[in-house]
Each structure stands twice: as C-alpha cells, then as structure tokens.
Amino acid sequence: MGIIPEIPVAEWITAATEGIQEALAPIFTFLRDDFGDFIEVFAEDWLMGVPIWLFILVIAVLAFFATGKKFGLVAFTVLGLWFVANQGLWEELMNTFTLVIFASLISVIIGVPFGIWMAKSKPVESILTPVLDFMQTMPAFVYLIPAVAFFGIGMVPGVFASVIFATPPTVRFTNLGIRQVSGELIEASDAFGTTGAQKLLKVQLPMAKKTIMAGINQTVMLALSMVVIASMIGAKGLGQSVITALQRAQVGPGFVAGFGIVILAIIIDRFTQNLNTQRGDNP
C-alpha cells in the first residue's frame, strides 16, 4: 500500500470549507443574523400572531378553492390542524412550516433558472447532471456539518442544508419539462420570429409548467423530510419534538409529533398537486 500515500481528501475539504467560510464571512454573517431574524419574525410574530381558528379557517377556504370546490381536503385540513393544536404542538407546527416554506422558496428560486440553463445548453446539462446526483445521494446529515460551520446553529443552517438536499428535483424537472416540448412547437415558435426569451416565456415555460410543478412538489416534500434532520442542529419545530422524544425514549410523544409532520406533508402535497393544472388540458 505504501507506494501511494493516503490522499488527504478530508483535509482538502476541511481547508476548502474554511477558505469559503473566511472569504464569504460577511455574507454568512448577514444571513445568520439578519435573515435568521427575519425567519424568526415570520414564524413567531406573523404566523403565530394569527389566532389558530383564523389560520385554520383561511387554510380551509384556500383548500376549498384549490381543489375545485370539493370538501375532502377541507375536512382533512380542519381536522388535521385542529388535532395538532389540540396536542399542544401549534408553535412547533408553525416553525416547521416556516422552515419548509423558506427552504422550498429558495430551492425553487435557485432551481428553476438552473433547470432552464440546463435545458438550453447541452454542456451545462452534462456538467450539472452528476452534480445533482451527488447532491441527492450524499447522506443529508453530511450537509449539517458545513451548515453549522457557516451559520452556527438554528433555523438558518437548517434552511441551508434543506435547500441543498431539496433543490435537485426542481432543476431536473424544469430541464425535463422544457426539453419535452415538442420539436414542432419550437419550430412554430421560431418560424414566427420569437426571440429566445419570448420562446421561453410564451411557449417553453407554459408548456413545461406541469412538469416543473411536479418537480416543485417533490422539492417541498424533500424539504419537509429534512425537518427532523435539521432539528439536530437546532432548527425549531416538530422535528425537535421527535428528537427530544427519541432521546428520552418516549414513544407516545414521538408519534404524536410524527403525526404532525404527516398532516403537514399531506396538506402541502395536496395543495401543490391541485394547483398543478394546465390551460387547455382536456378535463
């Protein structure tokens, strides 16, 4: 073995992380402090400031219209949210909801442009594909380490780790959706003299909408799956209740917190799926 010495990969990564940390210190500080404060305000002042009954009512009304005036999701929303509140987990639910919202929003804001870029350029696609594979297959726990190094503990590193883990589906599905638009429609668009931007906005993105939305749905679900993991580095929410229950070997409270996550997951999933309709689709 001695012929080739052990390659110091671990040292390199550590050094690189430290280098990034130093170079981008002002940005990280800003994100940790100001963005962190904003997340806290969003969760504790805004969301928790709304009376529980009003919050449930608003979500129920939205569910009613999102599902095309059916009552299934409405009933589930009302019962589910009432149950969480009844179990004394409302604040945890709001924190988790905040984490998921921010992680998903940032993932989409980053993911869609990358997906478009990937669809427009073959080289970019061949570079990004393995990168996305890497991001998704690397155990999610590993992202917690640089997250803590950059942002300390709390919500911000939780969002950061979730974004890394949850972005790939949006990128992939955006790319796929745009590439799936039929060649003849692209020709039609070109034949009428569209610029690249017009073609993207008037033809490709509207046609890819359904696929992109399916990707976003997956992104939201992945962000939600990071909730428990992120709570290991101090992200508040239902995940924390699960971890606490695990540490104290309390089966009951563990499951109750788990139910809360399941209820949130189902509500978000049905909402994003029901919003995913395309104009001109035959019913």
Partner 1 sequence: MPVIDVKNLSKIFGKNAKKATKYLDEGLSKEEILKKTGNTVGVNRASFSVEEGEIFVIMGLSGSGKSTLVRLVNRLIEPTEGSVIVDGQDLAKMDQKSLREVRRKKMSMVFQRFALFPHRTIAENAEFGLEVQNIDKEERRKKAAESLEMVGLKDYMHQFPGQLSGGMQQRVGLARALANDPEVLLMDEAFSALDPLIRKDMQDELLELQQSMKKTILFITHDLDEALRIGDRIALMNDGKIVQIGTPEEILINPANDYVERFVEDVDRSKVLTAEHIMKRPETVDIEKHGPRAALERMRKEGLSSIYVTDAKRNLEGYVTADDVSAAVKNDENSLKNILRTEVLQVDKGTPIHDIFAVIHDATVPVAVVEDGKLKGIIVRGAVIAALSGSEVSLNGDHS
47 binds partner 1 (CB under 8 A): no
Do the Cβ atoms of 150 and 21 come closer than 8 Å? Answer: yes
Which of these ranges, 24-32, 57-65, 105-113, 272-280, lies near partner 1 under the rule CB under 8 A? 272-280
122 binds partner 1 (CB under 8 A): no
Q: What are phi and psi for residue 181, nearest 5 degrees?
A: -60, 130
Shortest reach from residue 264's CB to partner 1, in Å: 32
* Closest alpha carbon to 159 in 81, 84, 97: 97
Shortest reach from residue 202's CB to partner 1, in Å: 7
Our CB check for partner 1 shows the closer of 200 and 226 to be: 200
7, 69, 122, 282: residue in contact with partner 1 (rule CB under 8 A): 282
Q: How far apart are CA 104 and CA 165, in angstroms?
A: 10
Number of Cβ within a 10 Å radius of residue 176: 17
Our CB check for partner 1 shows the closer of 34 and 190 to be: 190
Our CB check for partner 1 shows the closer of 5 and 283 to be: 283
Shortest reach from residue 278's CB to partner 1, in Å: 6
Shortest reach from residue 213's CB to partner 1, in Å: 13
Do the Cβ atoms of 89 and 257 come closer than 8 Å? Answer: yes
Do the Cβ atoms of 174 and 107 come closer than 8 Å? Answer: no
User: And the tokens for 219?
Assistant: 């992104």
Q: Name residue, tokens 């972005």.
A: 167
Shortest reach from residue 209's CB to partner 1, in Å: 8
Number of Cβ within a 10 Å radius of residue 130: 9
- Which residues fall within 8 angstroms of residue 102, CB to CB, at 6 or more apart? 39, 42, 159
Q: How far apart are CA 191 and CA 137, in angstroms?
A: 42
DSSP 24: T
Our CB check for partner 1 shows the closer of 206 and 258 to be: 206
Shortest reach from residue 113's CB to partner 1, in Å: 21
Our CB check for partner 1 shows the closer of 68 and 193 to be: 193
User: And the tokens for 54?
Assistant: 């009003």
59, 204, 270 from 62: Cα distances, Å = 5, 29, 12
Stretch 179-218 residues interacting with partner 1 (CB under 8 A): 182, 184-185, 187-188, 190-195, 198, 202-203, 206-207, 209
Binding mask 135-174 for partner 1 (x = CB under 8 A): ----------------------------------------
Binding residues for partner 1, total number by CB under 8 A: 22
Our CB check for partner 1 shows the closer of 69 and 279 to be: 279
281 binds partner 1 (CB under 8 A): yes
Q: Name residue, tokens 């350029």.
A: 121
Our CB check for partner 1 shows the closer of 15 and 188 to be: 188
Q: How far apart are CA 183 and CA 189, in angstroms?
A: 10
Our CB check for partner 1 shows the closer of 29 and 180 to be: 180
Q: Which residues bind partner 1 (CB under 8 A)?
A: 182, 184-185, 187-188, 190-195, 198, 202-203, 206-207, 209, 278-282
